[in-house]
A and B are shown apart, each in its own frame.
Chain A
Amino acid sequence: MTKYVDQGKNDTRSGYGAGMTELGRTNPNVVALCADLVGSLKIQTFIDENPERFFQVGIAEANMMGIAAGLTIGGKIPFTGTFANFSTGRVYDQIRQSIAYSGKNVKICASHAGITLGEDGATHQILEDIGLMKMLPGMVVINPCDYNQTKAATIAIADYEGPVYLRFGRPKVANFTPVDQKFEIGKAVMLSEGTDVTIVATGHLVWESLIAAEALEAQGISAEVINIHTIKPLDAAAVLKSVKKTGCIVTAEEHNYLGGLGESIAGMLATQHPTPQEFVATQDTFGESGTPEQLMEKYGLNNKAIEKAVLKVLTRK
C-alpha cells in the first residue's frame, strides 16, 4: 500500500489559522468573525494584519451568524469562528434562515469538533454537527483530515460562492497530506489502492484508517483507503468505483453514526449499488471527559476499531 509520512503532528485548527493568514493577504473581501475564541481558532495573525476586517462579537453566536449574513450584502466573504457545538446546534435557526435559506456566502468554520476536544466533556463535544449541517439545503460540509488539508480547504472555500460548513479539531494529529495539494470541494482523495475492502474516512479518522490498512496488509488483506473530506456534496462516483471493485465498505468518522458520513454513503449505496457496510462512529451517545486518545479508544474511533470493522464486513461479502 501507499506509505504516508507524518511531517510532524499539528492541529487542524492551526491549519485554519494559517489559511486565514493567507486569505488575509490575498483576498481583500475575506473578513473574520469570532465569538470570544480567537486563541482557540488560531486567527491572531489575521487579526494583527487586518484589524479592520476582524469582528469580535463576544459570547453571542446567534448575533455572529446574523452579522455574517449581513456582511455578505456588500460583497464581503465572512468566516465565522467558534467551537463546532456553538457553530451549529446553538445557532441552527440563525444559519437556517439568515444564511442557508437566504443563500448567503458565509463560511461557518468550526473548531473543536467531535470527541477529541477531550477534557471539557460532552457539553462541548458535538457529535451531531455533520448531520445538522448536511440536512440544510445548499450547505456544503467539509471535514479535512490534517493541518495541510485544513489550510488548503480554508483557502479553497473562499473561492466557492455559497454557504459552507468547515469542521476541524483541537488535538495535534499526524500531518501527512502534501503541503501543496490542491483542495477540490466534493472530490474524494484516493490515498491507497486496494482490492478486498474499501475504507472511506473523514477528518481525524483518515490517519487512523491508514494505520489500520497497514495492519490489515500484514494480515494479507488489501484495503483501499479514500479520504472523503467533503461529506456534502458526496463524491458518489469515487465510492461507487471502489466498492464495485472491493465489494464491501467501512466508513469511519468522529461523529454519531446517525447523520454522519456513513449514513450519507449508506443512503447513496442503497439506491445505486447495495454493499455490505460497517460504521466506525459513535453509537448514538454523548461523549465525556478524558484525553483524546482515551476517548477514541473508549468510543471505538481509532485504527483498532477500523481494523475490527473491516474484519467484520469481510465476512458479510
Chain B
Amino acid sequence: MPKTEELQDIVLQTRRDILRMVHKVNSGHPGGSLGCTEFFVALYHEIMELKDGFDMDGYGEDLFFLSNGHISPVYYSVLARKGYFPVEELNTFRLIDSRLQGHPTTHEGLPGIRIASGSLGQGMSVALGAAEAKKLNGDKSLIYSLHGDGELQEGQNWEAIMYAAGNKIDNLIATIDLNGKQIDGATDDVLPMGDIKAKFEAFGWDVLEIKEGNDMQAVVKGMQEAKSRTGKGKPVCVLLHTVMGNGVDFMMYTHAWHGKAPNDEQLENALGQNAETLGDY
C-alpha cells in the first residue's frame, strides 16, 4: 500500500524531529509525542480536509485542537512538514523569541495553532465551542481533538463530555491517547480511571477503539471509521491505544521519558532506529 509507506516515511522523519528538538534544548516531552506520531501524521495527511494556508476561523475546513499541549514537539513537526511554517523553525523550539513555545499558543502567531494548551483539561470545551460555531455557520466540516488519558482526571473534561452528548455535538471526534502513563507513573497507580470506554458510553458518546494506535494502517482505518460515525446525533470518541515513546526501544513501555530529553549518546542511538527520510531540518 504505497500511501501507507509514504505516511510511514513522514512518521520516521517526525520521530527524528521530535528527538532532535527536545535534545537540543534538553527539555520537552518526547514520550507522548512519539506515541502519537502515527495519529498526527494520519490526521494531517490523510484524515482531515484542510485548506491551503491558515486563517484562525477555518471556515470550510476541518479543525484540530490539541488539549494535552505538552506533546508540542509532534504537533510542531507535523505542522511544519505539512507546510504551515518553515521546517527550519523547528530549530527554535523552546528558545527565547521563538513562536514554538514549550506548549502551543496563539500568542506568537504560529500558523496552525488556534488555542493555547498546556494547563490540562481545557481542550475539549474549546473543541465543543468550535463545533457549535461550525453548526451555527452551516459548515459541515469536522472538529478533531486529542487528549491524554491522564488528562481525563481533570474535572472540566467531564463537564464537556456531558455537554457534548446532551447537545448532540456530532461533528466532533475526540481522541484519547490511551498510553496508560502519566508523570508520576501508570495511570492505574496514580489515579485509576476504571473503564474509560464504559464511562464515555454511559455519558452518551459513540466510542470506537483503535487497538494498534502505532500501526499506520490501523490508525487510518480507525479514523476513517470514526468519520463515518459523525453526523448521527452523537459525539464520537476514539480510544487510541498507543505506546509512550514508540519507535525508540529504550523509551518504550515506561513513563520515564514523559518529560525528559535524551543525551547525546541516547539521541544517536534513537536516531539510529529511525532513518532519515525527508531530510532533517
Q: Are A74 and B130 in contact (CB under 8 A)?
A: yes
A35's closest neighbor in chain B, by CB?
Answer: B159
Q: Are A75 and B137 in contact (CB under 8 A)?
A: yes
Q: Are B106 and A71 in contact (CB under 8 A)?
A: no
B143's closest neighbor in chain A, by CB?
Answer: A70
Complex CA distance for A112 and B163, rounded to whole angstroms: 25
Query: Residues of B contacting A58 with CB < 8 Å?
Result: 159, 162-163, 166
Per-residue CB contact flags for chain A residues 44-79 toward chain B (1 = under 8 Å, else 0) read 000000001101011010111111111111111010
Query: Residues of A contacting B57 with CB < 8 Å?
Result: 73-75
Q: Are A55 and B126 in contact (CB under 8 A)?
A: no
Across the interface, A69 reaches (CB within 8 A) one of B59, B126, B136, B156, namely B126
Across the interface, B115 reaches (CB within 8 A) one of A55, A60, A74, A102, namely A102
Q: Are A78 and B136 in contact (CB under 8 A)?
A: no
Query: Residues of A contacting B134 with CB < 8 Å?
Result: 74
B128's closest neighbor in chain A, by CB?
Answer: A67
Residue B72 interfacial (CB < 8 Å): no
Q: What is the CB-to-nearest-CB distance from B158 to chain A, in angstroms, rounded to a whole number?
A: 9
Residue B133 interfacial (CB < 8 Å): yes
Q: What is the CB-to-nearest-CB distance from B162 to chain A, in angstroms, rounded to a whole number?
A: 7
Complex CA distance for A2 and B34, rounded to whole angstroms: 70
Across the interface, B136 reaches (CB within 8 A) one of A53, A62, A67, A97, namely A53
Residue B244 interfacial (CB < 8 Å): no
Across the interface, B122 reaches (CB within 8 A) one of A66, A74, A75, namely A66
Complex CA distance for A284 and B124, rounded to whole angstroms: 37
Complex CA distance for A246 and B106, rounded to whole angstroms: 45
Across the interface, A66 reaches (CB within 8 A) one of B58, B136, B137, B160, namely B160
Across the interface, B130 reaches (CB within 8 A) one of A52, A70, A102, namely A70
Q: Are A102 and B105 in contact (CB under 8 A)?
A: yes
| A-facing residues in B113-146 (Cβ within 8 Å) | 114-119, 122-134, 136-137, 139
Complex CA distance for A58 and B156, rounded to whole angstroms: 13
Q: What is the CB-to-nearest-CB distance from B99 to chain A, in angstroms, rounded to a whole number?
A: 14
Across the interface, A97 reaches (CB within 8 A) one of B118, B124, B137, namely B118
Complex CA distance for A75 and B58, rounded to whole angstroms: 9
Residue B107 interfacial (CB < 8 Å): yes
Complex CA distance for A78 and B136, rounded to whole angstroms: 13
Across the interface, B129 reaches (CB within 8 A) one of A52, A53, A73, A93, namely A73
Residue B56 interfacial (CB < 8 Å): yes
Q: Are A76 and B125 in contact (CB under 8 A)?
A: no
Q: Are A66 and B133 in contact (CB under 8 A)?
A: no
Q: Are A102 and B125 in contact (CB under 8 A)?
A: no
Residue among A57, A60, A78, A97 with max Cβ neighbours from chain B (10 Å): A97
Across the interface, B116 reaches (CB within 8 A) one of A67, A74, A76, A101, namely A101
Q: Are A76 and B117 in contact (CB under 8 A)?
A: no
Across the interface, B127 reaches (CB within 8 A) one of A31, A70, A104, namely A70
Across the interface, A73 reaches (CB within 8 A) one of B56, B116, B163, namely B56
B137's closest neighbor in chain A, by CB?
Answer: A74
Q: Are A73 and B105 in contact (CB under 8 A)?
A: no
Q: Are B107 and A62 in contact (CB under 8 A)?
A: no
Q: Are B56 and A62 in contact (CB under 8 A)?
A: no
| A-facing residues in B26-83 (Cβ within 8 Å) | 56-59, 63, 65
Residue A10 interfacial (CB < 8 Å): no
Q: Are A71 and B160 in contact (CB under 8 A)?
A: no
A76's closest neighbor in chain B, by CB?
Answer: B133
Given contacts A66-B160, A73-B58, A102-B106, contact A93 B125 (CB under 8 A): no
A78's closest neighbor in chain B, by CB?
Answer: B129
Q: Are A98 and B122 in contact (CB under 8 A)?
A: yes
Residue A171 interfacial (CB < 8 Å): no
Complex CA distance for A68 and B133, rounded to whole angstroms: 10
Complex CA distance for A52 and B58, rounded to whole angstroms: 21
Query: Residues of A contacting B130 with CB < 8 Å?
Result: 70-71, 73-74
Complex CA distance for A55 and B129, rounded to whole angstroms: 10
Query: Residues of A contacting B139 with CB < 8 Å?
Result: 74
18 interchain pairs, CB-CB under 8 A:
A60-B162, A62-B122, A62-B125, A62-B155, A66-B123, A66-B125, A66-B156, A66-B160, A69-B126, A70-B130, A71-B129, A71-B130, A72-B129, A72-B133, A73-B57, A73-B114, A74-B130, A104-B115
Given A57-B163, A63-B159, A69-B126, 20 other A-B residues pairs in contact with their CB atoms under 8 A: A57-B159, A60-B159, A62-B125, A63-B163, A66-B124, A66-B129, A68-B129, A69-B115, A70-B125, A71-B130, A74-B59, A74-B139, A75-B133, A94-B122, A94-B156, A96-B119, A97-B119, A98-B122, A98-B125, A101-B116
* Residue ranges of A at the interface with B (Cβ–Cβ < 8 Å): 31, 52-53, 55, 57-58, 60, 62-76, 78, 93-94, 96-98, 101-104
**Pairs A-B, 4 closest by C-beta atoms:** A70-B129, A66-B125, A74-B133, A63-B159
